[in-house]
Amino acid sequence: MKRKDRHISYYYKYLLSYIAILIIPILFLALYVDVRIFETLENEVITNDVNTLHQVKNGIESHLIQLQKIRNEIYMDTNKSSFYFKEDPMQAVQRIDELRAYQVTNPYLTDIFLYYCGDDYIYTSTGSCRLELMMKDFFHYKDWDYDDFYHTINTIQQPMFRSVEWVKLSNNTDHQYATMIYPLRESTAAPYAMLMFIMPKEFFDSRMHHVIDNHAKITVVMDDTDKIIVSSQHASFLYTDKFKRLITSTNRLNKTVIELEQKKYIAAFVQSDETGWTYITLSPQESIALKTKHVRRGFLYGILLVIGMGFLAIFISMRINYNPIKKLKNYSASIIHHVKGSKGELDVVKEAIDFLSDQNALLTDEVEHSSEASRQYMTMQILRGSMPLHDQVQKKAEKYGVLIHDYCTVAILYVNNNTDGILTRQGIIQMLKKAFSPTVNLYACEHFDCRKIIMILSFKELGDAALTEPFKDVQKAIKERYNISTAVGIGHCYEDKKLIPKAYIEASTAVDYRLIKGNGCVILFRDIMEQQIALASYPQENLKNITHFLKAGKIKEIEKELDHMVSYIKNNNTPIFIVRGLCFDIINQIFQTSQEMVNAFDNHANDVPDVFTLSKYDTVDELAAVAKDLSHDLCTQIIQQKEKEELSLIRDMVIYIKENYSDCCFSLQVMADHFNMSQSSLSMYFKDKTEQTILNYITRIKMDKAKELLISTEIPLSKLSLEVGYSNVTSFIRRFKQWEGITPGEYRKKYV
Who contacts 552 (Cβ-Cβ below 8 Å, separation ≥6)?
Answer: 638
Backbone torsion region of residue 104, taken as left when φ is above 0, otherwise alpha when ψ lies between -120 and 50, otherwise beta: alpha
Residues of the chain with pLDDT under 50: 1-10, 367-369, 533-536, 598-606, 618
Rounded to whole angstroms, how far apart are CA atoms 131 and 138? Answer: 10
Residue 397 and residue 389 in contact, taking contact as beta carbons nearer than 8 Å: yes
Q: What digits encode the pLDDT tens for the residues 420-447?
A: 555 677 778 888 888 887 778 888 776 6
The pLDDT value given to residue 98: 85
pLDDT of residue 6: 44
Contact 550, 593 (CB under 8 A): yes
CA-to-CA distance for 724 and 720, rounded, in angstroms? 7
Phi and psi of 199, rounded to 5°?
A: -120, 125
Question: In 10 A of CB 60, how many CB atoms?
Answer: 22
Residue 494 DSSP label = B
Q: Which residues contact 466 (CB under 8 A, 6 or more apart)?
A: 437, 440
Alpha-carbon distances, residue 466 vs 473, 478, 739 (angstroms): 11, 19, 86
Length of the chain: 752
For residue 13, the model assigns a pLDDT of 65
Question: Rounded to the nearest 5°, which phi and psi values hold at 316?
Answer: -65, -40
Rounded (5°) CA angle 395-398-400 = 120
> b/e for 278-307, b at 16 or more Cβ within 10 A?
bbbbbbbbeebeebbeebeeeeeeebeeee
- CA 645 → CA 641, 652, 678, distances in Å? 6, 11, 19
CA distances from residue 124 to 102, 451, 499 in whole angstroms, order as listed: 11, 103, 81
Q: Quote the pTM value.
A: 0.39
Give the pLDDT of residue 371: 60
Cα separation of 464 and 530, whole Å? 15
Closest by CA position to 744, among listed 102, 714, 657 = 714
- For residue 91, give the amino acid letter: Q
Q: Are strands 486-490 and 522-524 parallel, antiparallel or unpaired?
A: parallel
Strand 174-184 vs strand 160-169: parallel, antiparallel, or unpaired? Answer: antiparallel
For 697-733, how does the pLDDT look when each residue is reduced to its tens digit (9 = 90+)?
Answer: 999 999 999 998 998 888 899 899 998 988 888 989 9
Q: What is the C-alpha to C-alpha distance for residues 112 and 523, in angstroms, rounded to an integer?
A: 95
Q: Where are the domains of the chain?
A: 59-287, 404-531, 661-751
DSSP secondary structure string, 200-225?
EHHHHHHHHHHH---TTSEEEEE-TT
For domain 404-531, the CATH superfamily is Reverse transcriptase/Diguanylate cyclase domain (3.30.70.270)
In CATH, which superfamily holds the domain spanning 59-287? PAS domain (3.30.450.20)
pLDDT at position 604 is 42
The whole-number pLDDT of residue 128 equals 85
Domain 661-751 bears CATH identifier 1.10.10.60 = yes
Cα separation, 582 vs 308, in Å, equals: 75
